[in-house]
Structure 1
């Protein structure tokens, strides 16, 4: 959370002249409900089922830029779909930076807690190894400089074997 996946994804799609998809927005469009409402009504498990269907669908699309929700990697099937069907760039972001970027965002159900930093610490501990497992490249977003991060991602993509 707060890594800049959607912002960077939109920018990269424009630079690369490719279609952009944000898996959370696709879920919202398909359900007609926002993510916090889905969490309230179906819990995280219900949301993850919907997310898996969307990730399976989107990773079959050729030549797209895809931004996923931060918890996409907790589902083994998602990790396989992403790693096997695309080039995954893990946008590594320190917890302190995530906290600063998400501090006032009420649209993040997992952070609606008395201690968001403790929650982010726990999520980072759980998810960082999973992201590293699925990623083809790791790029830091700590600088907050969109152009620098985009250039770093583009350099990774340029180094990716074609095939």
Structure 2
């Protein structure tokens, strides 16, 4: 029996939650394309996200993020990985709700910190105390992420393959997302 994805799955959550890794595996399991919105923004701008933030600011970046998200949601069903701040904008949440299904990969602070602490590609963590900044971002964003259609907890030690399987199981239980 072949299962077909009827809507685009949009993975949301904090940096380090596993959106790209889990999304890549989930797309492979479902036989659909995987697209990372941050990579799409970088390709369109011919600059990295840190360069966009430094030159044009966060507001400019967020506007491009909405444009890219809108374009990607018009296409055939796929798995989209979004940047950590994408779901914060009400316009983006509305777009996702209208054209796809949102899945929050939730993770605790320790798990997130273990995954992002050695990376310098996170412009929002370029602060004197990046762990405290991450904690503040998590506290400020959790209530918004909780508005996602589906929540799948991401715990340290869970394999990417198992996480993708858990997301697929949650999608199968959610109405009007998959069909046989």
TM-score (norm 2): 0.86
1:138 aligns with 2:162: no
Give me the whole-angstrom Cα distance separating, in 2, the residues matched to 1:110 and 1:100. 16
Aligned twin of 1:7: 21
Secondary structure, counterpart of 1:91 in structure 2: strand
1:51 aligns with 2:51: no
Aligned twin of 2:136: 122
Whose strand fraction is larger, Structure 1's or Structure 2's? 2
- The superposition leaves residues 41-86 of structure 1 with CA deviations (integer Å, 9 ceiling, x where unpaired) of 0111111011111111111223111000011122111111112211
Moved over 3 A (4+): none
1:23 aligns with 2:37: yes
Secondary structure, counterpart of 1:89 in structure 2: strand
Give me the whole-angstrom Cα distance separating, in 1, the residues matched to 2:155 and 2:127. 24
Give me the whole-angstrom Cα distance separating, in 1, the residues matched to 2:40 and 2:21. 16
Q: Which runs of 5+ in 1 are unaligned?
A: none
The alpha-carbon deviation at position 114 of structure 1 amounts to 1.2
| Number of equivalent positions | 162
CA contact (8 A) 2:96 2:102 kept: yes
TM-score (norm 1): 0.95
CA contact (8 A) 1:73 1:79 kept: yes
Q: Which runs of 5+ in 2 are unaligned?
A: 1-14
Out of 47, 54, 79, the residue aligned to residue 40 of structure 1 is 54
Give me the whole-angstrom Cα distance separating, in 1, the residues matched to 2:39 and 2:161. 24
Give me the whole-angstrom Cα distance separating, in 2, the residues matched to 1:162 and 1:46. 34
